[in-house]
Chains A and B, each alone.
Chain A
Amino acid sequence: MAESGTISVPTAARRRRVTLRIPPISVLLLLIIVLMCVFAPLVTPFGPNDVDPAHPFAAASGQHWLGTDELGRDLLTRLLYGGRLSLTVCAGSVVIAFLIGTIWGVSAAERRGFVEEILMRTADVTMAIPQILFALVCVAAFGASLLSLTVITGLLLAPTSARMARSVTIQETSLDYYSAGIAYGAGKIRLLTREVFPNILPALASQAVINAASAMILEASLSFVGLGVQPPQMSWGVLLQQGYGFLYNDPTYAVAPAVLILVTVFCLNLAANRLGSTRHRKVVRP
């Protein structure tokens, strides 16, 4: 498709210009958090479940930078290992939402008519269900595990991805190059996957980042009501819930995971904004 090639060249050039800039602080912060969690065994000498009942609620020190919890476990270590799980749920659910939502939305946009009505009204109904309530019922039914949390969160976020996918696909398929492709006899699947999808990807990526922030909050909420992962696993939400019970004994216990959740969600939202504005600039520029 020579036509699409000429269209994609300036887009790619602009993309290169963007990536060559210094990453924004939000992305840098996210990167630091992710790297510290991933390489937690290199950052801390303790295990996340190394119990030391003789030293509960130890104050911050050179040995325990954030002190210890009620069982004498190193708080920083648990935060880093907990972050692994929170970020895993976050990433996994975003992938699930992205895959389901994209197929869902693109199918609706491409087929239009009755099929579109059915698909999008289903999305509307799904989005009308309170997320926490739905998640609580699902967790009660299927149990609380890393897998169930990831799948449930992913399914809950899929409709928002579907809406975005449908919207940008309709916008994209209304352009001349798509009509020309059809007129030249190109297959719809080929056009959608080879030409349309790369062009709607920035919008979907922006939505995915927003979903990541939502997934982070959803996981933390479920964990806070005690329906997140179960010990010995931990996430930031689980630590927040456990720390809340000892708010007066050791505020750091609850504040530290809360701050990490807040910073991560804030950075994700900023990154999503940046992605969105970049996409917007691409559209309005001549």
Chain B
Amino acid sequence: MKVAEQLGCLEEMGVALIRTKVTAAIAAAATVCGLAACGGSTPQPTAKATGTGTAKVGGVMTIGSATGIDLLNPVLQTTAWDQVLFSLLWNGLVTTGKDGKLQPDLASSWSASADQKSWTFQLRPGVKFSNGKALTPADVVSTLAYYQNPNTATEQKNNVAQIAAVKPSGSNAVVFTLKAPNAVFPSSISRLKIVDMAALSGMEKNPAVTGPFKVKEFVADDHLTLVRNPSYFGSPAKLDSIKIVKSPDSSAALTALQSGDLDALWSVPLSQVAAIQANPKLAAVKPSVIGQYVSWEVDTTQAPFNNVKARQALAYAIDQKSILSAAYSGQGSVSTTNDPLANNNPNYGGNLTDYTYNLDKAKALFAQAGVNAGSTLTWWGVANQYPEWNISAQILQASLKKIGINLKIQNTDISSWPSRFYPAGKSFPGLIIPNFQSYTSDASDEFQFMLHGRCECNWNNDQFDALYKSALATADPAGQKALWQKAQELINQQAPIFVPVQFATVTATKSSVVGLWVDSAGNPHLEDAGFTG
């Protein structure tokens, strides 16, 4: 393979990797809403929003990030930061509100057949794209066909794969036929945004949108200027305009926020959150329930980690508290049960083993698995990005050293990083791969990563897949929760991945900003944002 091809592939892999995690998270969030709509809702904590005052009408808000926006097409969205546009430009059939519950969006109502395999959505009347075209069921059908096209590189592949057919029903409804029952189907499609397929060619310059804002100017990977969309079907946006700009790096972005050049900043370095909270002119906005979790992966099919005792030993050797404190600056929560779900997640629970840091247990279990003093494991991380990974590696290195196990830390550039373990199915014996997953707080979303063929850890567990499928098909919230807890018990005992902490992507704002909130996947919502009067 030529160098250019190789680099291209690697880059693609890296992007796809991040995309996969983020996408899965998004789909999960939608699940929560689906439950609500079906009358079987799981209570969700409310997301935190900025300020308590009322936003005045007017003003231009500038929000920055160290990441740029590469493209506008919501179907092809590639990075977590691109998702900031989801609630500003686009609409799906359903959406997730500040309270974490599913809300009507382009669909005014929906219902399921008794077997949970057929879902009918009534479209909201009078919705128009910004180019003047009226929304019809045909737009939903054609957009879904676009998502399902094998040539469409979308994050939503897993969520649209369950759909067997989409057909218009009458003049104002669409019917989805699923391959298998899914009681939380509406939430699983809340991240699918409906586009005007006839205007696809102009998508990256002046897209036809249905959201509260429309595009005024877009320079890829640099800046995007949005202005209020007068044809939006909902309450008009408070702000006249939103500027989304890219900063050279997170430190420069933070300086811009402090100097007043930015009104808000996405993904604040975690080490700076405490300083922002202490600054009366600034505010830090975080989700109430965290959907992002650290996931260290090992190859569960290769020695030594094909032995469950070795995996449990590693779980005991992780000093979660020090990692949360030093690497994540205390911005998150410790997971002593090695659980993707945060302790305050409504579906958290089960008969779970406590993996609180214990080197004696780690040493004994490692010995039973044949990992003795003098053995060497390798940390395969990324250079110059995710400093929290490198700090975590050093903490783990110091812990393992105390029981005589060496941890060799290898950090490589991000383009070559995935080649050792991605996609799932690759063999990487003895490597520990740091990573993180961004999902909504819904269990169906957060556990997607553990399904067959998804996790690079190669833990393809039929029992887990069956539990997941059963939980999706169970409309009764209590019954569903019981199944999610069984799934957690399985993850807890098998330790296919390692979850030292759950953490939040924090958005910082000026204290004059009100109405901005952050969902469980860490995405800021500016659709109702404004400035105090």
Chain A interface (Cβ < 8 Å from any Cβ of B): 49, 51, 53, 56, 70-71, 136, 140, 143-144, 224-227, 230-232, 241-242, 244-249
What are 28 A-B interface contacts by the 8 Å CB criterion?
A: A53-B319, A53-B322, A53-B395, A56-B326, A70-B271, A70-B326, A70-B327, A71-B394, A71-B395, A136-B413, A140-B416, A144-B410, A224-B384, A226-B383, A226-B384, A226-B413, A227-B383, A227-B411, A227-B412, A227-B413, A231-B393, A231-B394, A232-B409, A245-B387, A247-B251, A248-B254, A248-B271, A249-B275
Asked if B397 and A232 sit within 8 Å, CB to CB, the answer is yes
Asked if A245 and B269 sit within 8 Å, CB to CB, the answer is yes
Binary interface profile of B, 411-423, with partner A (CB < 8 Å = 1, else 0)?
A: 1110010000000
With A226-B384, A231-B397, A241-B384 as known contacts, state yes or no: A249 contacts B326, CB within 8 Å: no
- A232: chain B residues at CB < 8 Å are 394, 397, 409
Asked if B251 and A70 sit within 8 Å, CB to CB, the answer is no
Q: Is B373 on the interface with A (CB-CB < 8 A)?
A: no
Q: Is B505 on the interface with A (CB-CB < 8 A)?
A: no
In the A-B complex, the 4 residue pairs with the closest CB atoms? A226-B383, A226-B384, A53-B322, A245-B387
| Residues of B253-308 contacting chain A, CB below 8 A | 254, 269, 271-272, 275
Whole-angstrom CA separation of A101 from B109 in the bound complex: 77
Asked if A53 and B326 sit within 8 Å, CB to CB, the answer is yes
- B271: chain A residues at CB < 8 Å are 70, 245-246, 248-249
Q: Is B325 on the interface with A (CB-CB < 8 A)?
A: yes
Asked if A140 and B413 sit within 8 Å, CB to CB, the answer is yes
Asked if B275 and A71 sit within 8 Å, CB to CB, the answer is no
Q: Is B178 on the interface with A (CB-CB < 8 A)?
A: no
Closest CB in chain A relative to B503 CB, distance in Å = 15
- A70: chain B residues at CB < 8 Å are 271, 326-327, 391
Closest CB in chain A relative to B267 CB, distance in Å = 14
Q: A136-B413, A224-B384, A242-B387 are in contact. List 9 more A-B contacts (CB 8 A).
A: A70-B391, A144-B410, A226-B383, A226-B384, A227-B413, A231-B390, A232-B397, A245-B269, A248-B275
- A241: chain B residues at CB < 8 Å are 384
Closest CB in chain B relative to A245 CB, distance in Å = 4
Specify the chain B residue showing the minimal Cβ separation from A247: B251
Q: Is B398 on the interface with A (CB-CB < 8 A)?
A: yes
Q: Is B375 on the interface with A (CB-CB < 8 A)?
A: no
Whole-angstrom CA separation of A56 from B251 in the bound complex: 20
From DSSP, what is the main secondary structure of chain B's interface residues? helix
Closest CB in chain B relative to A96 CB, distance in Å = 24
Closest CB in chain A relative to B285 CB, distance in Å = 19
Q: Is B351 on the interface with A (CB-CB < 8 A)?
A: no
Specify the chain B residue showing the minimal Cβ separation from A228: B383
Q: Which of B275, B382, B390, B395 has the most CB of A within 10 A?
A: B390
Whole-angstrom CA separation of A166 from B393 in the bound complex: 48
Whole-angstrom CA separation of A225 from B269 in the bound complex: 17
Whole-angstrom CA separation of A231 from B383 in the bound complex: 12
Whole-angstrom CA separation of A244 from B272 in the bound complex: 12
- B409: chain A residues at CB < 8 Å are 230-232
| Residues of B399-442 contacting chain A, CB below 8 A | 408-413, 416
Q: Is B385 on the interface with A (CB-CB < 8 A)?
A: yes
Whole-angstrom CA separation of A245 from B382 in the bound complex: 15
Binary interface profile of B, 377-389, with partner A (CB < 8 Å = 1, else 0)?
A: 0000011110100
Whole-angstrom CA separation of A108 from B264 in the bound complex: 61
Asked if B411 and A144 sit within 8 Å, CB to CB, the answer is yes
- B387: chain A residues at CB < 8 Å are 242, 245
Whole-angstrom CA separation of A245 from B272 in the bound complex: 9
Asked if B325 and A56 sit within 8 Å, CB to CB, the answer is yes
Closest CB in chain B relative to A257 CB, distance in Å = 15
- B326: chain A residues at CB < 8 Å are 53, 56, 70-71
With A51-B395, A225-B384, A231-B394 as known contacts, state yes or no: A140 contacts B269, CB within 8 Å: no
Whole-angstrom CA separation of A49 from B402 in the bound complex: 13
Closest CB in chain B relative to A270 CB, distance in Å = 31
Whole-angstrom CA separation of A56 from B321 in the bound complex: 13
Q: Choose from A56, A136, A226, A248 the contact partner of B411 (Cβ within 8 Å).
A: A226
- B408: chain A residues at CB < 8 Å are 230
Whole-angstrom CA separation of A49 from B411 in the bound complex: 18
- B385: chain A residues at CB < 8 Å are 226
- A225: chain B residues at CB < 8 Å are 383-384, 413
Whole-angstrom CA separation of A178 from B194 in the bound complex: 84
Whole-angstrom CA separation of A225 from B390 in the bound complex: 13
Asked if A51 and B411 sit within 8 Å, CB to CB, the answer is no
Whole-angstrom CA separation of A247 from B387 in the bound complex: 13
Closest CB in chain B relative to A153 CB, distance in Å = 17
- A230: chain B residues at CB < 8 Å are 408-411
| Residues of B492-523 contacting chain A, CB below 8 A | none
Closest CB in chain B relative to A54 CB, distance in Å = 9
- A143: chain B residues at CB < 8 Å are 410
- B384: chain A residues at CB < 8 Å are 224-227, 241
Whole-angstrom CA separation of A56 from B325 in the bound complex: 9
Whole-angstrom CA separation of A247 from B258 in the bound complex: 14
- A227: chain B residues at CB < 8 Å are 383-384, 411-413
- A144: chain B residues at CB < 8 Å are 383, 410-411
Whole-angstrom CA separation of A174 from B507 in the bound complex: 70
- B397: chain A residues at CB < 8 Å are 231-232
- B390: chain A residues at CB < 8 Å are 226, 231, 242
| Residues of B41-83 contacting chain A, CB below 8 A | none
Asked if A71 and B410 sit within 8 Å, CB to CB, the answer is no
Whole-angstrom CA separation of A231 from B327 in the bound complex: 15
Closest CB in chain A relative to B265 CB, distance in Å = 13
Whole-angstrom CA separation of A231 from B416 in the bound complex: 19
Whole-angstrom CA separation of A231 from B413 in the bound complex: 16
Q: Choose from B275, B325, B410 the contact partner of A53 (Cβ within 8 Å).
A: B325
- B394: chain A residues at CB < 8 Å are 51, 71, 231-232
Closest CB in chain A relative to B397 CB, distance in Å = 6
Asked if A248 and B413 sit within 8 Å, CB to CB, the answer is no
Whole-angstrom CA separation of A223 from B72 in the bound complex: 36
Closest CB in chain A relative to B2 CB, distance in Å = 14
Asked if A248 and B398 sit within 8 Å, CB to CB, the answer is no
Closest CB in chain B relative to A57 CB, distance in Å = 9
Closest CB in chain A relative to B76 CB, distance in Å = 29
Closest CB in chain B relative to A136 CB, distance in Å = 7
Specify the chain A residue showing the minimal Cβ separation from B327: A70
- A244: chain B residues at CB < 8 Å are 251
Q: Which of A144, A226, A232 has the most CB of B within 10 A?
A: A226
Whole-angstrom CA separation of A123 from B510 in the bound complex: 55
Whole-angstrom CA separation of A109 from B327 in the bound complex: 56
Whole-angstrom CA separation of A70 from B398 in the bound complex: 14
Q: Which of A53, A56, A245 has the most CB of B within 10 A?
A: A245
- B319: chain A residues at CB < 8 Å are 53
Whole-angstrom CA separation of A225 from B415 in the bound complex: 13
Closest CB in chain B relative to A206 CB, distance in Å = 34
Specify the chain B residue showing the minimal Cβ separation from A224: B384
Asked if B251 and A140 sit within 8 Å, CB to CB, the answer is no
Asked if A71 and B391 sit within 8 Å, CB to CB, the answer is yes
Whole-angstrom CA separation of A232 from B395 in the bound complex: 10
Whole-angstrom CA separation of A265 from B305 in the bound complex: 47
Asked if A51 and B410 sit within 8 Å, CB to CB, the answer is no
Whole-angstrom CA separation of A242 from B383 in the bound complex: 11
